[in-house]
């Protein structure tokens, strides 16, 4: 029935010249749903304006460059002010970096070199032997003249042996006095009785220097002298009953008794003292005999 109706309509259209709709598939009707099954409503399309959309922020335009007249040009090197000249007035140099100087406060002086104390037992033994030899002496207060000069137990000797004076009296260490007393008794007196018999008995030893605070050879600089420690004595001559005999340079070709006595004295002194500088040994010892008891390693002695 339906097909017949369509053919009739087509024929009418051809006869009347009416325009036909565009060709295309003719939708077919859906079959009705069975009576026992409920009809399902057709889904409706969501309207375009209801669709969710994420808004995209518009791009931020770049800032416009400032006008040319607002741009401040950088300073040229020649426009900068010149540094002030370094003008220094004459005067003391500035203090070193660190703590500021305190007005009126002087820098601390280096610690003084102190005198080492002597062993009490050795000092007591030395005094005992001096008394046995008949030396006339007395102990004195410690001496500390600074820079290492001084001694802790000085003795003042007036007679080195009974009847033989020290002229003038000498202040030095007990050990120095003891070695001089031994040498006088064992060497000087016997040798003088042989070589200088016409002079009589020895009455005094003329000393030129005992304790004194100075450098070696009285130099402005250098090592401190053994005289400054009380370790040395300089003998200038010997006094007899009938005259004095000075300490002189003993020439090797001089065969007289006085020259032989001087040479024997120079040599024998090295048996008692660790340093012996005989007359003429150097420029500083032309007219006296230097003797000292400086301690050296392995008991070494210097005799010239």
CA distance 124 to 154: 12
Please state whether the predicted TM-score (pTM) of the whole model is above 0.85: no
pLDDT tens sequence across 74-128: 444 444 555 555 545 555 555 555 555 556 555 555 445 568 899 999 999 999 9
- What is the pLDDT at residue 82? 57
In a domain, 28, yes or no: no
- DSSP-derived letter for residue 93 is P
In a domain, 255, yes or no: yes
- What is the pLDDT at residue 216? 86
In a domain, 248, yes or no: yes
Find out whether 181 and 244 touch, Cβ atoms under 8 Å. Answer: no
Mean predicted lDDT score pLDDT of the chain: 78
CA distance 159 to 170: 9
Task: Provide the angle, in degrees to the nearest 10, between the axes of the packed helices 120-133 and 174-183.
Answer: 30
Domain hosting 173: range is: 120-303
CA distance 125 to 120: 9
- What is the pLDDT at residue 109? 52
Q: What is the mean pLDDT of residues 26-43?
A: 51
In a domain, 38, yes or no: no
In a domain, 50, yes or no: no
In a domain, 12, yes or no: no
In a domain, 86, yes or no: no
Q: What is the mean pLDDT of residues 278-285?
A: 90
Overall domain count for the chain = 1
pLDDT tens sequence across 282-294: 888 889 999 999 9
Q: Locate tokens 């003084």: which residue?
A: 112
């Amino acid at each position: 029935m339906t097909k017949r109706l369509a053919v009739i309509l087509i024929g009418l259209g051809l006869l009347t010249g009416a325009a036909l709709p565009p060709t295309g598939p003719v939708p077919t009707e859906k079959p009705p749903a069975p009576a026992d099954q409920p009809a399902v409503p057709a889904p409706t399309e969501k309207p375009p304006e209801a669709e969710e959309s994420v808004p995209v922020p518009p791009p931020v335009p770049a800032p416009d460059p400032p006008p040319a007249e607002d741009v401040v040009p950088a300073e040229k090197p020649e426009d900068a002010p010149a540094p002030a000249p370094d003008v220094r007035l004459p005067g003391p140099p500035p203090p070193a970096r660190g703590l500021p100087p305190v007005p009126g406060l002087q820098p601390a002086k280096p610690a003084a070199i102190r005198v080492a104390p002597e062993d009490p037992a050795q000092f007591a033994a030395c005094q005992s032997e001096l008394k046995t030899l008949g030396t006339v002496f007395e102990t004195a207060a410690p001496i500390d003249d600074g820079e290492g000069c001084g001694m802790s137990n000085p003795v003042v000797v007036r007679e080195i042996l009974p009847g033989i004076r020290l002229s003038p009296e000498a202040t030095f260490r007990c050990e120095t006095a003891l070695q001089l007393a031994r040498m006088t008794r064992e060497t000087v007196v016997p040798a003088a009785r042989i070589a200088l018999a016409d002079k009589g008995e020895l009455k005094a030893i003329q000393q030129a220097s005992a304790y004194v605070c100075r450098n070696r050879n009285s130099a402005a600089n250098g090592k401190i002298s053994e005289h400054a420690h009380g370790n040395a004595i300089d003998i200038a001559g010997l006094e007899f009953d009938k005259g004095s005999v000075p300490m002189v340079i003993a020439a090797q070709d001089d065969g007289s008794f006085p020259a032989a006595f001087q040479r024997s004295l120079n040599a024998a002194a090295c048996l008692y003292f660790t340093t012996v500088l005989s007359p003429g040994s150097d420029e500083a010892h032309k007219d006296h005999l230097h003797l000292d008891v400086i301690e050296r390693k392995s008991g070494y002695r210097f005799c010239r």
